Amino acid sequence: MPANAQRLLELADDELILGWRNSEWTGIAPMLEEDVAFSSIAQNEIGHARALYELAARELGTTADELAFDRSPDEYHCSKLVQLRLVPDWARTIARHVVYERADQQRLEALKDSDDAELAGLAAKIDREEAYHRMHAQMWAERLAEEPRFNEALAELEALVDARDEHLPELGELWDEMTMVRRSVAGATW
């Protein structure tokens, strides 16, 4: 696979899987505000994934939906960090949010300087939305700063950011759920 498509897929897969993980809080977050926040963040991440899959799809001669949903679980390039199913552990969920947003910011800064003008423009647009995710993460990091479970989770999860070669069994479970409708439609041509 071309290096550029590979890079796009890593990013898109991270955003898609994290979007699904965040949406697992919809309806059951510790307070209504967070129900709304995590649902909205999930919606944004999946929107970013779609735009990134579209760029990758053009390079690979396929479609965004096929990239998102028609690969087998071991073909995803997402970080182990986003694969983890963290419901109902709020402290670890916030720790992942903080760790992810920090790593994502560095990645987006680099992509904004990309020679590929379309990718640089998309990264800049994504970054404007992510600014709100970072502010949300910052508010929670301040609130949980003295909480040992949060601080332990930060250290534990930081180590997973660059782990992309290993797939956790829970990614397979998420994949089953995520692709169930698409795989079950009678007469589908995909």
Partner 1 sequence: MVTAEQVWEALAGIPDPEIPVISLVDLGVIRSVDVSGDQVRVEFTPTFLGCPALEVMRDAMTDRIAALGAEPEVRVITDDSWSTDRITPEGREKLRASGFAPPAPRENGGPQLVQLRSNAFRCPYCGSRDTALENIFGPTPCRSVRYCRSCRQPFEQFKTI
State the residues that interact with partner 1 by CB under 8 A: 33, 36-37, 39-41, 43-48, 50-51, 118, 121-122, 124-129, 131-132, 135-136, 138-139
Whether the link from the prior residue into 73 is cis, omega within 30° of 0, is no
Cβ nearer to partner 1, comparing 132 with 190: 132
CB closer to partner 1 out of 95 and 122: 122
Question: Is the Cβ of residue 123 or residue 174 nearer to partner 1 in the bound state?
Answer: 123
- Residue with smaller CB distance to partner 1, 87 or 131: 131
Smallest separation, CB 117 to partner 1 (Å) = 8
Question: Smallest distance from the beta carbon of 181 to partner 1, in angstroms?
Answer: 17
Q: Smallest gap, in angstroms, from Cβ of residue 87 to partner 1? A: 18
Is the bond preceding 88 in cis, omega lying within 30 degrees of 0? Answer: yes
The interaxial angle of helices 90-112 and 3-23, nearest 10 deg, is 150
Joined tokens for residue 68: 């998102």
What whole-number distance in Å separates Cα of residue 43 and Cα of residue 85? Answer: 18
Kindly report the CA angle at 183 between 9 and 166, in degrees rounded to 5? 40
Tokens 């995909």, residue?
190
Closest C-alpha to 140, from 25, 20, 17: 25
Closest distance to partner 1 from the beta carbon of 159 (Å) = 27
Q: Which CB, 74 or 142, lies closer to partner 1?
A: 142
The nearest distance, CB 175 to partner 1, in angstroms, is 21
CA distance 133 to 149: 22
